[in-house]
Amino acid sequence: MPSARFEEVLGKLDAALDFCRSLGLGGLVERGRFAEHRRRIQELIPLITHVDESGLSKAGVERLRGGQVHFATALIEALEFAEALEHLRGVNPEALKRKLEVVLTGPPLPINEDASSTNAARNTLFELYLASRIVAGGLPVELGEHPDLTCRMGEVEILIECKRPFSPSGVSRAAKQALDQLHQEIPSRPAGAFGLIAVSTAKVLNPGDSFLSYYDEHRASEGLSRMLLEISEQEPTKRVLLQAAKDGRIVGALFHVSTVALDRTAERFTLAIQLNVHPIALGQEALKHLGEAIARGAKYVGVTKSGR
């Protein structure tokens, strides 16, 4: 990734943090993880920019190698955060502020997350990421607590419960918790309300200490899609999806992964994101419209066989 791109990421992050300050979150901005990410990017720019014909200095090479995970995480999380906020500035500011109060906290590195407390920041960023992709696809979204997100398409409401399990064994529990919450929420809504289970497997597939390395972007996307499909087809998770299929007001499940990736062809870090949508037969029409919006707003969306 050329140094100009690093500067572009820094500019996007600064704009996002200024927006957070405008919501009264200046204190959290200054002491939160994105301030640390900003310092890492600032350190990286001169390391890459000040290169003579012989390349990086020995000290520069050692610094880059020693801080590779920190630098890559800073770049990718800053970009994910900034691009999410680009599309969410029109939502209810108080609801967005409540989400951002959580997102701005947490440890700078995912590997240092704790399952009982400090993972809430990245869990909530998944909610904002998904909301931003829906908005980017042309549909309105409301931020909430239960459900996490509400998408309206005319008379149809889709209630979305987002989960980000901490370990492989937690995927089915997370899906079941989302399903139970939807079962509680949907009866109080009008007849045109449906539910969607959304599960991010980012922490499951990469605890935060490694990169996805690839030469071909399309193959990398296919590989991530297969990983998500395998997770959804593990027996405990499959049972939850079969249970969801019995409820005519659950339209389906969405499985997501985002991870730091190294594009070996361009020798640059990128943010690899994959979304797999699993329709349930009775709710296919409602999910089709939402899936089309997500596809417009996100780069990679896979659709699995329906009728689980």
pLDDT at 107: 94
Per-residue model confidence as pLDDT tens digits over 134-169: 999 899 999 999 899 999 888 889 999 999 999 888
pLDDT at 278: 85
Q: How many residues does the chain have?
A: 308
pLDDT at 307: 33
Residue 159 domain-assigned (yes or no)? yes
Q: b/e map of 111-143 (b: 16 or more CB within 10 Å)?
A: eebeeeeebbbbbbbbbbbbbbbbbbbebebbb
Reported as a pLDDT band with limits 50, 70 and 90, residue 24 is very high
Residue 55 domain-assigned (yes or no)? no
Residue 5 domain-assigned (yes or no)? no
Residue 77 domain-assigned (yes or no)? no
Which is nearest to 196 in space by CA: 273, 283, 270? 283
Mean pLDDT of 184-203: 92
Residue 250 domain-assigned (yes or no)? yes
Sign of CA dihedral 240, 204, 269, 79: positive
Residue 282 in this model has a pLDDT that exceeds 80: no
Residue 293 in this model has a pLDDT that exceeds 90: no
DSSP, collapsed to helix, strand or coil, labels residue 277 as: strand
pLDDT at 34: 97
pLDDT at 306: 33
Residue 299 in this model has a pLDDT that exceeds 60: no
Per-residue model confidence as pLDDT tens digits over 169-193: 899 999 999 999 999 999 999 888 8
What is the total count of domains within the chain? 1
Residue 188 domain-assigned (yes or no)? yes
Q: b/e map of 255-272 (b: 16 or more CB within 10 Å)?
A: bbbbbbbbbeeeeebbbb
Mean pLDDT of 2-31: 89
Residue 83 domain-assigned (yes or no)? no
Residue 151, beta-bridge partner list: 141, 158
Instruction: Tell me how crowded residue 274 is: count the other CB atoms within 10 A of its CB.
Output: 25
User: In angstroms, rounded to a whole number, what is the distance separating the alpha carbons of residues 182 and 146?
Assistant: 8
What is the token pair recorded at 57?
């200095």
Reported as a pLDDT band with limits 50, 70 and 90, residue 53 is very low
pLDDT at 270: 79
Query: Which of residues 267 and 104 earns the better pLDDT score?
Result: 104
Which is nearest to 279 in space by CA: 251, 247, 248? 251
Beta strands 141-143 and 193-200 are: unpaired
Which is nearest to 177 in space by CA: 193, 199, 155? 199
User: In angstroms, rounded to a whole number, what is the distance separating the alpha carbons of residues 283 and 269?
Assistant: 38
The whole domain housing 224 covers 93-303
Give percent of the chain with pLDDT exceeding 70.
87
pLDDT at 21: 98
Query: Which of residues 275 and 298 earns the better pLDDT score?
Result: 275
User: In angstroms, rounded to a whole number, what is the distance separating the alpha carbons of residues 147 and 152?
Assistant: 13
Residue 39 domain-assigned (yes or no)? no
Model confidence, pTM: 0.87
- Burial grade of 5 (CB within 10 A; 0-12, 13-18, 19 or more): middle
Residue 89 DSSP symbol = T
Reported as a pLDDT band with limits 50, 70 and 90, residue 59 is low
Residue 118 in this model has a pLDDT that exceeds 90: no
Which is nearest to 213 in space by CA: 167, 268, 258? 268
